[in-house]
Structure 1
Amino acid sequence: MSDNKFPKYEAFADTLKSVSLSVTPAELHGFLTGMLAGGLSPEDGRWQPLLFDYTNDGMGWPMAALGLASELMAHTAAELTQNHFQLWLLLPPDDGEHSLFELADGVSEWVNHFISGLGLAYQNVNKLSNDAKEALKDLEEIARLGIDEDDDLKEQALLLEQVIEHVKACALALHAECGIQTKTENKRPTIH
């Protein structure tokens, strides 16, 4: 697993709520990851106005929340470019009484906002390869999934784990095609 360097989900959610932002940590992380997967560079600063427009009617964010979002953006960008083929998703914890339902809702929120972030950053969705189109279609289907209270919850929990891993694979596949890749120098021997 990747190294989680962020506050617990609840603390992150409390910070967002305390400054009257109606976005969950899962939605925020999905949105930022989608923009990165779509090729938006975290260094150029364009992500902040897009975030403000999408989440707060164009109004800026208070510094406490913006600082957390900036850290989340930097960490996620590093994860996507280090070629570890791992991605950490900021989702509600899976402990507690209603946690499976909250986790499933968090996955849906993450995926919906990932798709939105990708769409804002990558304007050529029609030109995606067949593999990337399939990954995007899978994400669109996953965004509509839910947990049925009448089904075996242990089985549903195992299936949700598999879905989360597939979400990560789809996000990484889309980033591989649309995202900004780290440049590797073409080192050829110098001929004298």
Structure 2
Amino acid sequence: MSDSNSLDFSSVQNALGGENFSAHASEIHGLLTGVIAAGFAYEDDSYLTFVSDFFNNGEGLGKTLKDLIKTMYSDIWQAVLDDNFSFQLLIPDDDESLIERGQALGHWVQGFNLGFGLQQKDNKKFSEDVKEIINDFANIANLSTDLEEDEDTENAYFELMEYVRISSLLCFAELGAKPSQRSPNKTLH
């Protein structure tokens, strides 16, 4: 997985299960995105400690897992800084069941809220838009995963997923730290 564009949900989820590490790929991606959107500095690598603490009981991460997390982190930075809004949530593909995708969206939002909360403790400096997003994300994280496999639910899911994606970018635009001269545009291999 040295090509940063090769990070898809299935490959990340499979890699996460390989080191006695039980975590959902969407939740880790959400946590990293939340930390970044809340102002975490690109150069700071303590996000690895967050992942270790919350998903591996504080145990160190193996090299393969650490490299995967670093690649995810770098990919998120590249995507949130992209003027073409290329940022995407790491969730199962459309060919998976709506129930599985809905659960993954819930995991992603839970991770985002956790990461955001770790980084941003002073909600007095949030705009009303960011406050509303954080409240909405809390509600989305608690949505029922008892979903009907029909066209209306599918459309609602896509609208919700797009709202989460754009809202994450809005949080980054308002609170995110801009990288220094060491640009995250360098792909980590």
User: Is structure 2 residue 149 aligned with structure 1 residue 144?
Assistant: no
Relative to structure 1, is the Cα distance of residues 183 and 46 closer, same or farther in structure 2, using a 3 angstrom cutoff? closer
Q: Which structure is larger by alpha-carbon Rg, 1 or 2?
A: 1
Superposed, which structure 2 residues align to 1:1-192 within 5 Å? 5-96=5-96, 99-149=97-147, 151=148, 153-181=150-178
**Residue ranges of structure 1 left out of the alignment (5+ in a row):** 185-192
**Cα distance in 2, alignment partners of residues 100 and 87 from structure 1:** 21
| TM, length-normalised to structure 2 | 0.86
Secondary structure (helix, strand or coil) at the match of 1:27 reads: helix
| TM, length-normalised to structure 1 | 0.85
Contact 1:30 1:110 (C-alpha < 8 Å) held by counterparts: yes
**1:161 partner amino acid:** F
Match of 2:186 in 1: none
**1:81 partner amino acid:** L
Identity fraction in percent: 27
**1:169 partner amino acid:** I
**Cα distance in 2, alignment partners of residues 183 and 137 from structure 1:** 31
Contact 1:6 1:72 (C-alpha < 8 Å) held by counterparts: no
Q: Indicate the RMSD between aligned Cα atoms, in angstroms.
A: 1.9
**Cα distance in 2, alignment partners of residues 73 and 37 from structure 1:** 12
Following superposition, the deviation at residue 167 of structure 1 comes to 0.2
Consecutive aligned runs of 4 or more in structure 1 exceeding 6 Å deviation? none
Contact 1:32 1:117 (C-alpha < 8 Å) held by counterparts: yes
Contact 1:147 1:156 (C-alpha < 8 Å) held by counterparts: no
Relative to structure 1, is the Cα distance of residues 147 and 157 closer, same or farther in structure 2, using a 3 angstrom cutoff? farther
**Cα distance in 1, alignment partners of residues 22 and 58 from structure 2:** 13
**Residue ranges of structure 2 left out of the alignment (5+ in a row):** 182-189
Secondary structure (helix, strand or coil) at the match of 1:59 reads: coil
**Cα distance in 2, alignment partners of residues 66 and 104 from structure 1:** 27
